[in-house]
C-alpha cells in the first residue's frame, strides 16, 4: 500500500529501526526491492533520484513506482531523491509521489532555507512529506562510478544549524553529513556518531543517512541507535546485480538472452537489498 514518508518514519520510530530507501533506476531494481520487502514483511521506501533521469525518465518510471507501491502488501513510500529544482519536485508530486527531497545543500544556508520552505509548501498541497539536506555527502552522481573519497569533516552537519534549519522549514526528515559519502568508498568510512546524537537532541527530527553502501552492519546499528531512521542505499545493490550478470555471461557458452540478463540482475539486487533490510530492521 502506498503511504507517506511520515507514516514510514512513525513506524521506524516505534520499532527503533531504520527503513531502507532504495534507489530504483530500472524495473529489475524496482521489482527486486519490492519482492525483498514483501518477503521480509518490511515497510520500504522506493526512491527515484533526479540524477537517474539519464537512465530512465521520471515520467516513465514514476507511474510504475506509484502503481506497484499501491499494489504491494507492505507499506511503501514513493520518494523523490535529490530533487535539485522545484519544477522537478512538482513533477514528482503530480505523478503521485508521497515524499520529496529538496537538495539545496550546495546553496548558502539562507537560500537553502528559502527554497526548502517553498518545497514544504508545495508538498503540503499534496499531503506529501519533505526531506532536505544540510552538510555535504560527496559527489551526487552516486552509483556506477562511485565516490572519490572520504567525506570532508568541514562539510559535516552542524547540530546548531540543523536545529535552526528544521525549525524554520518544518521538514519531516533531515539528511545529515557525519562521514558517509555516495558511491564506493576508497577507504573504510569513519563515522562521527556523536554528530547524530547531537543533531537528534537539538533538532528532534528523524535523521537520514545517505551513502549507505559500504557501511558495516555494526556501524548501521550504532547509527540507528542514535536516531537514523531512513537509510539511502543504491551502489552496492546495483553492483551486485552487475556482478551477477557478468558472472553468468562469463560462464555462458553460446547465446545470452536479455530476459535472462534482466533476471540475473534482479535476483542479485533482491538478495543484496534483503540483506541490507535485515540489518536496518534489527533482524540480524
Ligand atoms: P549509495 O549509492 O552510496 O548507497 O548512496 C545512495 C544514496 O545516498 C542516494 O541518495
**What residues line ligand 1, using a CB cutoff of 6 Å?**
23, 81-82, 142-143, 182-183, 210-213, 232-235
Strand 44-49 relative to strand 99-102, pairing: unpaired
Burial of residue 271, with CB atoms counted within 10 A of its CB: 0-12 exposed, 13-18 middle, 19 or more buried: middle
Q: Which among 199, 10, 8 is positioned nearest to 99, based on CA atoms?
A: 8
Residues paired with residue 2 on neighbouring β-strands, in sequence order: 76
Alpha carbon of 48 to those of 91, 206, 255: distances in Å? 12, 20, 33
Other CB atoms within 10 A of residue 115 CB: 19
Other CB atoms within 10 A of residue 283 CB: 11
Condensed to tens digits (0 to 9), the pLDDT of residues 34-88 reads: 999 999 999 999 999 999 999 999 999 999 999 999 999 999 999 999 999 999 9
Does the reported pTM lie above 0.85?
A: yes
What angle, 0 to 180 degrees and rounded to 10, lies between the N-to-C axes of helices 193-203 and 159-169?
40
Query: Is pLDDT at 23 greater than 60 in this prediction?
Result: yes
> In the numeric block, which cell numbers belong to residue 33?
526491492
Q: Which atom from ligand 1 is nearest to the alpha carbon of 184?
A: 3
Ligand 1 centroid to residue 73 C-alpha, Å: 25
Q: Which atom from ligand 1 is nearest to the alpha carbon of 143?
A: 2
Query: Is pLDDT at 144 greater than 70 in this prediction?
Result: no
Q: Which residues contact 95 (CB under 8 A, 6 or more apart)?
A: 58, 59, 62, 63, 66
Condensed to tens digits (0 to 9), the pLDDT of residues 174-227 reads: 999 999 999 998 888 889 999 999 999 999 999 999 999 999 999 999 999 999
Active-site residue 81, yes or no?
yes
Query: Is pLDDT at 142 greater than 60 in this prediction?
Result: no
Q: Exactly one of 67, 81, 253, 260 is catalytic; which is it? A: 81
Residue bearing cell 533531515: 174
Query: Is pLDDT at 284 greater than 90 in this prediction?
Result: no
Backbone dihedral region for residue 143 (phi beyond 0: left; psi -120 to 50: alpha; all else: beta): left
How is residue 216 annotated by DSSP? -
Q: What does the alpha-carbon distance between residue 258 and residue 188 come to, in Å, rounded to a whole number? A: 36
**Confidence category of residue 132, pLDDT binned at 50, 70, 90:** very high
Stretch (H or E) spanning 225 = helix 217-226
Which residue has the least CA distance to atom 5 on ligand 1?
211
**255, 17 in Cβ contact below 8 A?**
no
Amino acid at each position: 500500500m502506498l503511504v507517506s514518508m511520515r507514516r514510514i518514519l512513525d513506524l521506524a520510530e516505534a520499532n527503533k529501526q531504520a527503513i531502507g530507501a532504495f534507489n530504483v533506476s530500472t524495473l529489475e531494481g524496482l521489482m527486486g526491492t519490492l519482492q525483498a520487502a514483501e518477503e521480509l514483511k518490511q515497510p520500504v521506501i522506493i526512491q527515484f533520484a533526479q540524477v537517474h533521469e539519464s537512465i530512465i525518465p521520471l515520467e516513465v518510471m514514476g507511474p510504475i513506482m506509484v502503481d506497484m507501491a499501491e499494489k504491494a502488501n507492505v507499506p511503501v513510500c514513493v520518494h523523490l531523491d535529490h530533487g535539485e529544482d522545484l519544477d522537478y519536485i512538482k513533477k514528482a508530486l503530480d505523478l503521485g509521489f508521497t515524499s520529496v527531497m529538496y537538495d539545496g545543500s550546495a546553496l548558502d544556508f539562507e537560500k537553502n532555507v528559502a527554497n526548502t520552505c517553498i518545497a514544504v509548501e508545495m508538498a503540503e498541497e499534496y499531503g506529501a512529506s519533505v526531506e532536505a539536506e544540510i552538510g555535504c555527502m560527496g559527489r551526487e552522481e552516486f552509483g556506477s562510478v562511485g565516490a572519490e573519497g572520504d567525506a570532508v569533516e568541514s562539510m559535516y552537519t552542524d547540530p546548531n544549524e540543523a536545529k535552526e534549519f528544521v525549525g524554520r522549514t518544518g521538514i519531516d526528515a533531515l539528511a545529515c553529513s557525519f562521514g558517509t559519502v555516495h558511491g564506493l568508498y576508497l577507504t573504510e568510512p569513519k563515522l562521527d556518531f556523536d554528530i547524530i546524537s547531537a543533531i537528534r537532541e537539538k533538532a528532534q527530527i528523524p535523521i537520514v543517512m545517505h551513502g549507505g553502501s559500504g557501511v558495516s552492519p555494526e556501524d548501521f546499528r550504532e547509527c540507528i541507535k542514535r536516531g537514523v531512521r531512513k537509510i539511502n542505499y543504491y551502489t552496492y545493490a546495483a553492483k551486485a546485480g552487475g556482478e551477477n550478470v557478468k558472472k553468468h555471461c562469463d560462464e555462458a557458452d553460446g547465446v545470452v538472452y536479455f530476459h535472462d540478463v534482466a533476471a540475473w540482475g534482479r535476483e542479485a539486487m533482491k538478495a543484496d537489498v534483503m540483506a541490507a533490510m535485515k540489518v536496518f530492521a534489527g533482524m540480524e
